[in-house]
Structure 1
Amino acid sequence: MSGLYIHIPFCKQACSYCDFYFITRQQHKQDFVDELVEEIQAKKDTRFTDEPVRTIYFGGGTPSLLSPGQVEDVLDAIHQVFDVQTEEITLEMNPDDVSKDYLRGLKLAGITRASMGVQSFNADLLDFMHRAHTADEALKCLEILEASKFEVFTVDLIYGNPGQSLNTLEHDLDTLLQFNPPHVSAYSLTVEPDTRLGKQVKLGRIAPPENDTVADHFDLVTEKLSAHGINQYEVSNFARSGSEAVHNSNYWNHENYLGLGPGAHSFWWNEDRKSANRWSNKADIKAYLKKAHETPYELERLNLPNLAEERLMLRLRTKKGVSRKVLKSLYKFEFSSAQINYLQKMEQEGKVMVDENIRLTPKGLKIADAILLDLVTAK
C-alpha cells in the first residue's frame, strides 16, 4: 500500500490558479477533525487495513491551518486502525503559518517531511497568484525550516507565469538555493477553466506566456537545480540523491492508496489484479460532516487496458521511464505497430530512448504531455 492521502480543505484565501477543493471558512475545523477521525476508525478491520501503510500525506487546502495537536489526533487514529510502517509522513504548509514552535509541534506529532508552498519570492507574482504570504514570510519560513529538525523537506515553485521574466525566475531559484533544499517541486502554471485565473484568461484580461517562453523557463529550472546536485527525476520533481518523494513515487507505480477527507481520491486494485477501482469522497464539507464519506462518490472501474495506458503515461513522466516487461506481465499490454513507429520517430529526434525501458530524454521531458498524448492515440 503506497499509503494514505488526507485532504485538509481549509484555506485563508483562494489562490488564483488552484482547482483543488477548498473552503475559506474555518469555523468547522474541529468538527472536521472529529469527523476525519471517525472516517479513519470506520476503516478498522476492512480490506484497507490488510496492507501496511508506507506513507501518509496531508494535502489540501492548507494542512498547516491545523494545530499540531489536531495533526497528532489524526495520526493517533491512523496508528490505532492501520498497520503503520511509514517511510515518510508529509504535511503541506504555507509560509505564513510557520514558526519554530509550530514546526517543533509537528515533529513531535510525527510529521517527518515538510512541504513548503513558496511558489515565488517576487511580491508582484505572489499578488498575481493571490497567495496569502509575503516574500519576507517566505524567506523567514525557509530560515526556520533549514534550522529545524526536518532533515527532509521540499519547496514548491511555479514558473511560466504571465509576465514572468527569466531574470525573475532566476532570482527565485538563486534565493531558494541559499537554503540548500533536499527536494524541489517546480510546476509550470496551468490554467484551469473554473479558477479565477481561468476566468480572467477566458475574458482576455490575461494572456498566458508562449510555449517557447515556458520551455525556456523549464530549461532554466532544470539547469540551475542540477548544477546544485538537485536532479530531475520526474517532469516537475527534483531531488538530491535519496530525497525523492516516496508517496508520489508510489502513485506513479500504481500502488494502492486510500484518500480520506472531503474530495480525497482513492485507488485500489481488485484481488484478481485484472481491474482496479478509483473513487472519491464528495467535495463538500457539509456533506462530509453528515457522513457522506460512507458512500463512495464517482466510483470508476478500470480494466487492464485503462490501467496500462495510465501506467504508461505516469511512468513516462519519470526519468526511469516504463518497463516493457512490466507492461506485458502486469497489464498484458504491448505497443501497437503505430506506437512502435511513433517511438522510433521520437528516438530519431532525440526525444525518447527505446530499449527494455522506454524513457524520455531531457529534450523529450520538456514536451512530455504532447508526446504522451501522441503515443496513446497513435494509429
Structure 2
Amino acid sequence: MPFHFRGSMAGIYIHIPFCKQACSYCDFYFVTRKNLIEPFTEALVREIELFSGTRYASEQIDTIYIGGGTPSRLPATNLKRIFDALEKSFQLRPVEVTMEMNPDDVTPDYLASLLDLGINRASMGVQSFDEDLLRFMHRAHTRDEAIRALEHLHTAGFPTYTADLIYGNPGQTPEMLEADIDQLLQFAPPHISAYSLTIEPKTRLGKQVDLGRISPPDDEHVSLHFDLLTEKLRAAGIERYEVSNYSRPGKEAVHNSNYWSHKNYLGLGPGAHSFWWDENGAGRWENKPDIKAYLKDEPAGSDENAKGETLSLQNLAEERLMLGLRTRRGVGFEELKQRYRYQMNEKQLNWLDYQREAGMITESGDVLKLTSKGLKIADLLIVDLLSKG
C-alpha cells in the first residue's frame, strides 16, 4: 500500500477568474465582468463551507495559492471574507500563502492589506519591461507600472515574491531579453518564473498564427534565450530548480513544488483542479470553468467523481517521472518502487544508458536527473522515456 496519503499536509488552490482584459497568449479561464465579483465571493465562501467536516478538511493545510485570472482584481475586503471562511473550515498552518497580482493593481495600501491577511508571497506578473512586447502580449500594465509595483513590494516588506518573465517572443532579440533581465535584477528578486512563449489554440495569439500574421520563433531562437536567461540569473545567484523556475537558495516555491511531488491539494473556484490520494491511487477533478454555473448551482464541493478521473499507481508513477525530471531534484528509483510500485523495464534502462552517454541524464546515488543540456529538451526526453514503458 502506498505510504503517502495518511496524515500528510496538503495545499489549497483558489482560482479567481477576473481579469481586466485578455492577454494574447493566455488560455486560462477568466471573465472581465467586475460586477460579478460580489456574487462570486459569496459562491466561493459557500464552496469553502461545503468542505467543513469532510476528509479534505482533516489534513493540515501548509500552503495556499491564490491564482487566476487576476486575483488582485478583488478588493481586500472580499479577500478577508474568503480567508475567514478558510479559517473556519480547514486546519490552516500555512508556511506559504501566495497571491498572483498584476502591476497595475498594486498600491502600497493594497499590499499592506494583503500582508495583514497573512499573504506572505507575491507573484507579480511582469512578463516584460519592453513597451512593444507588453502591447504585443496585450498586457494591461506599462513598463513604469511594473517598476513601481516592484518598488512597492520592497517598501511593503513582503517576505518573498516571484516575478514572471516571458521569453521567445516573435521579434524579441537577445538584447531585448537581456534588458528585461537586467531591469528585473535591479530589484534582487528572490525568485523568478520564466516561460517560453507558448502558442495556445483559441487564444488571440493562436488565431494570429493560424491566419499567418505571426510566425512563432524557431527552436534555435528559443534555445538561445533559454541559455541567456539561465546564465545571467546564475551569475546573479539565482539558480534554476525547475525548467521554468529560478530562485535564490531557500526561496523555492513550496506550493508548486508540492504539485510536482504529488501532495494533496484542493482546488476552489470555477476551473480549479484538485488532486487527492486514496487507498488505491488518487483522484483528480475539475470545477466546471463556467462562472454562471458556479454562481447558479451548488459548487462541486466534495463530489469529485462527477467531473474527475481516477489515477492508478501506474498513471501516477509516469506523471511523477514527468514532473520530477523537470526539476533539479529529479526522481529516485526507490521512491518509484516504494511509492508507486514502479520499476523501469529493460528498454527504459537501455535508453537511460544511451542518454547518459549523450550527456542528457545523470544519476546521483539513487536519483535520476536531467543535466542542464537535457533540461533544454526535457519534454521530448520524458515522452521518449515513457513511450518505452
Q: TM-score, normalising length from structure 1?
A: 0.98
Query: Deviations for 1:217-274, whole angstroms, at most 9, x for unmatched residues?
Result: 000111111111111100000111111100000000101000000000000111x1x3
1:251 aligns with 2:259: yes
Secondary structure of the 2:288 match is coil
Aligned equivalents of 1:20 and 1:298: distance in 2? 18
Residue 340 of structure 1 corresponds to: 349
8 Å CA contact 1:184–1:238 kept in 2: the answer is yes
Residue 360 of structure 1 corresponds to: 370
Aligned equivalents of 2:223 and 2:155: distance in 1? 34
Please list every run of 5 or more consecutive structure 1 residues that lacks an aligned counterpart in the other structure. none
Quote how far apart the aligned CAs of 1:153 are: 0.5
Residue 109 of structure 1 corresponds to: 117
Query: Deviations for 1:46-66, whole angstroms, at most 9, x for unmatched residues?
Result: 010110000000000000001
1:21-170 matches, within 5 Å, as 21-170=29-178
Residue 17 of structure 2 corresponds to: 9
Amino acid at match of 1:313: M
Residue 188 of structure 1 corresponds to: 196
Aligned equivalents of 1:248 and 1:8: distance in 2? 17
Count of residues in correspondence between the two structures: 377
Aligned equivalents of 1:166 and 1:2: distance in 2? 40
8 Å CA contact 2:162–2:190 kept in 1: the answer is yes
Query: Deviations for 1:184-226, whole angstroms, at most 9, x for unmatched residues?
Result: 0001111111211111111111111110110110001111111
8 Å CA contact 2:43–2:299 kept in 1: the answer is no
Residue 206 of structure 1 corresponds to: 214
1:326 aligns with 2:335: yes
8 Å CA contact 1:49–1:82 kept in 2: the answer is yes
1:195-274 matches, within 5 Å, as 195-270=203-278, 272=279, 274=280
Aligned equivalents of 1:70 and 1:366: distance in 2? 42
Q: Give the counterpart of 1:291 among 275, 288, 297.
A: 297
Residue 323 of structure 2 corresponds to: 314
Amino acid at match of 1:287: A
8 Å CA contact 1:63–1:92 kept in 2: the answer is yes
8 Å CA contact 1:281–1:292 kept in 2: the answer is no
Q: What is the aligned-residue RMSD (CA, Å)? A: 1.0
Aligned equivalents of 2:202 and 2:351: distance in 1? 34
Query: Deviations for 1:134-175, whole angstroms, at most 9, x for unmatched residues?
Result: 111111111111222102000000001111100000000000
Aligned equivalents of 1:72 and 1:229: distance in 2? 36
Quote how far apart the aligned CAs of 1:292 are: 4.6
Quote how far apart the aligned CAs of 1:293 are: 2.2
Q: Give the counterpart of 1:349 among 342, 358, 375.
A: 358
Quote how far apart the aligned CAs of 1:125 are: 0.5
Amino acid at match of 1:334: Q
Quote how far apart the aligned CAs of 1:2 are: 3.0
Amino acid at match of 1:281: N
8 Å CA contact 2:99–2:123 kept in 1: the answer is yes
Aligned equivalents of 1:292 and 1:378: distance in 2? 44
Aligned equivalents of 1:240 and 1:178: distance in 2? 15
* Higher alpha-carbon deviation: 115-124 or 348-357: 348-357
8 Å CA contact 2:12–2:63 kept in 1: the answer is yes
8 Å CA contact 1:69–1:109 kept in 2: the answer is no
8 Å CA contact 1:2–1:251 kept in 2: the answer is no
Query: Deviations for 1:78-131, whole angstroms, at most 9, x for unmatched residues?
Result: 011101110000000000000111101111122111000000000011001000
Aligned equivalents of 1:2 and 1:166: distance in 2? 40
Q: TM-score, normalising length from structure 2?
A: 0.95
Quote how far apart the aligned CAs of 1:360 are: 0.5
